[in-house]
């Protein structure tokens, strides 16, 4: 359950960004990108965020999570493909030598204030 630590970081990072903005502004929405190849469970993160955001300007904010599929490239045949089963093999030449291009994201894209 490191979602609690992840939620704490999200609240901290946005609070820093709020520093220079209208002190009355409340955060209404936080847009996140979370790769399928991270160990973050969206529902656990939502719950943790509710706890961590209490009594801050993020208290009413909705978490909008954009789930990023895993994309990879084969180092042998150089073809690009998506990984759904996480079996880490190239579907074209069956090589295990693949590079992950997307799916490891754990990023705050933006937030919205009112």
As a whole number of angstroms, the distance between CA 110 and CA 33 comes to 10
Smallest gap from Cβ 110 to other proteins, in A, equals: 5
| Burial of 67 from C-beta contacts in 10 A (0-12 / 13-18 / 19+) | middle
Smallest gap from Cβ 49 to other proteins, in A, equals: 11
Half-sphere exposure of residue 40: CA atoms within 13 angstroms, side-chain side? 26
The three-class DSSP label of residue 52 is: helix
Q: Tell me: does residue 13 bind other proteins (CB under 8 A).
A: yes
Within the chain, what is the greatest distance between any pair of CA atoms?
Answer: 57
Rule CB under 8 A: which of 64-103 touch other proteins?
86-89, 96-98, 100
Which of 59/88 has CB closer to other proteins? Answer: 88
Rule CB under 8 A: which of 15-54 touch other proteins?
17, 21, 25, 32, 37-40
In the complex, the residues that contact other proteins under the rule CB under 8 A are 1-2, 4-6, 9-10, 12-14, 17, 21, 25, 32, 37-40, 86-89, 96-98, 100, 106-114
């Amino acid at each position: 359950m490191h979602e609690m630590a992840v939620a704490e970081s999200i609240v901290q990072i946005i609070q820093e960004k709020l520093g220079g903005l209208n002190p009355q502004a409340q955060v209404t929405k936080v847009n996140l990108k979370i790769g399928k190849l991270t160990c973050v469970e969206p529902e656990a993160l939502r719950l943790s965020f509710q706890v961590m955001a209490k009594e801050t300007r993020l208290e009413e904010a909705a978490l909008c999570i954009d789930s990023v599929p895993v994309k990879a490239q084969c180092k042998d045949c150089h073809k690009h493909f998506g990984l759904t089963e996480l079996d880490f093999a190239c579907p074209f030449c069956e090589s295990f030598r693949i590079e992950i291009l997307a799916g490891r994201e754990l990023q705050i894209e933006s937030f919205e204030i009112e």
